Structure 1
């Protein structure tokens, strides 16, 4: 929690609510006598986090700098009240983030999750934007309940919008069987069928069209939903050729 004399003035992080945040920053007001202790604490925290995440995030780092010119009297009045700062810290600590449940049908497949993608300070309000994903409607509802309860406990508000409908795995998909057959004929090898944890348009179409059978195909993607996202151009051409063969077989 905030130590006596310290205050939060601004918090910012992330670029899109459906992307993994790469960086975040905070503007803090630190008493002069605590300045050296603060710097030492940041260094200790960075060392601890680097030991913890040396495999998952080997480039992790914490940076801090002294911005004396920022401390004008008018800016200083914008600091959060201590009770508000405590609630913001509690929200960050308790907010559901990451994997919530794993699929019982498909080993290794995430079933539901949430991702804190955006954190921003606008005027006297701190906004959190989270993307909730689930292949099961009831689990999505559980996650939403958690956010609403947390907001109620902290005296905040919670709103949902742009919900993606679930898209459960269909073990008897005739369309998938067709794609598998054409793939083996075209490329001389069996297709590798995988399920991924993502919100895409197929679920929206299935919700609107009763009995619709759908699968999703695409090129090789890397570092999806983070600022380093990119794709393989040769795989785009392969996907295009594959799709043409499937359409010919349907005809």
Structure 2
């Protein structure tokens, strides 16, 4: 354990965060972390179950005097988004996250930290390990694959749970209690490709060093999508000179704004100097346009070898470029009911080309289900018009604001007692698993919270250590005060 973390630790929160970070736990690769949670429960004599989705549920019965207090569900997810910088060789499938402390901040080495949602796991394990804590029946739900469609929450059986109050620990802002979240879906367009043989000089174009970010939490910050910018570059380059496209890709996660994109084109060998001049002009133009929101934007080029390449047939290239240029992206509408809240958005998150098809993956979010469906139909229309196949998967509903929420009122009261000020009550544009528990548990009353974190889903992700401790202490007060609810 990092020496600084050991010195700052409170009730073993950072001890467990360190242990969790040592376990590879990228989405769709849940076995190791799920089994770690099971072994933890066994070692502590905690009642648990692990289901076919690798979700883990743990139960700790009420301490004396709290038998009649309402049961509390503590909820978070075990998977993390695995993003890294281009120069990082970290293997997310085999290696854990190495933690670094810089003042009050904890971060990783050129990778995502996994504070989203390692904080929830650390809190839950520390709370269940604390035999001095006075508490009602605690029911912990730790789900899988939240970041890639919430499959764990969808498949979870809650029939053995008694809790009607749920505290979701999957937010990134101390002092804010979340009261609703957007619904969403993941959609994929597959476009057939035809290739022809072309002789010429290969040139590799790379767009890099964009900010990226969570497509729910940062979508309103006008961050540039690297895949969309590359489509613009190819479009404007095509207007200036002839070339053929061999490869093109960008983005790793549908819910992360792409930070990097790469295209491999084939040109006539004697056209390289002209190409370099044109690309230099485009690079300067983009840097000037995005100097404020993307100050680190880099447009790089590498000269390849002359040879024979399998490039896109002109018709396939035009269809692909049309889709990438014309599909909507980013904020689509703002809420008229809640000032400053994004109502509907989408993110072109993953794009890659294979020999015979291109795969384009979108994450669509909206707090209005009908508009979410319209965006999906709009994408399908463009994709299918160009001869592609459109598939929707991973739909999840909105978590609607509950006007009458005694649990929210109680959390606000405890917050005022601890912080000497009122909490912010907010809706969030990102999706939360609360939406599924609202459907699975009739009458459930929920609030989401978390400590200060920044730039989640990017290698710049940071967690405030002092905030993590303060929020944990607040959760302790909430739990201990439930005796009289």
In structure 2, distance between residues paired with 1:226 and 1:96: 23
TM-score, normalised by the number of residues in structure 1? 0.92
**Mapped pair 1:41 → 2:273:** no
Q: 2:299 maps to what in 1?
A: 62
The answer to whether the Cα contact below 8 Å between 1:20 and 1:226 also exists between their aligned partners in 2 is: no
Alignment counterpart, residue 90 of structure 1, candidates 309, 316, 322? 322
Give the drift of 1:112.
Answer: 1.2
Q: Does 1:183 align with 2:420?
A: no
Q: Deviations over 1:80-117 (max 9, x none)?
A: 11111111111111112100111111101001111111
Shift of 1:5: 4.4
Pick 1 or 2: higher relative contact order, CA cutoff 8 A, min separation 6: 2
Instruction: Tell me by how many angstroms 1:21 deviates.
Output: 0.9
Q: Determine helix, strand or coil for the equivalent of 2:318.
A: helix
The alpha carbon displacement at 1:34 in A equals 2.5
Deviation, 1:242, is 1.1
Secondary structure of residue in 2 paired with 1:169: coil
Give the distance between the partners of 2:459 and 2:346, measured in 1 at CA.
Answer: 18
- The residue number in structure 1 matching 2:290 is 53
Shift of 1:165: 1.4
State the alpha-carbon separation in 2 of the partners of residues 250 and 112 from structure 1.
37
1:180-218 deviations in whole A, cap 9, x for unaligned? 110011122221223221111111111222332211101
Deviations 1:131-180 (A, max 9, x none): 11111211110111111101111111111111221122334332221111
Q: Distance in 2 between matches of 1:64 and 1:237?
A: 46
For 1:134, which of 331, 341, 366 is the aligned residue? 366
In the alignment, which residue of structure 2 is the partner of 1:108?
340
Question: SS in structure 2 opposite 1:106?
Answer: coil
**Correspondence 1:212 to 2:449:** no
- How many residue pairs match? The answer is 246
Counterpart contact for 1:101–1:111, Cα < 8 Å: yes
Task: Please state which structure has a larger fraction of its residues in helix.
Answer: 1
Deviations 1:34-72 (A, max 9, x none): 32222111111111111111110111121011111xx44
Q: Classify the secondary structure of the residue corresponding to 1:63.
A: strand
SS of residue paired to 1:203: helix
* Structure 1 or 2: more strand by fraction: 2
Q: Does 1:31 align with 2:263?
A: no
Q: Unpaired runs of 5+ in structure 1?
A: none
For residues 49 and 174 of structure 1, the distance between their equivalents in structure 2, rounded to whole angstroms, comes to 51
Distance 1:37 1:44 in 2: 11
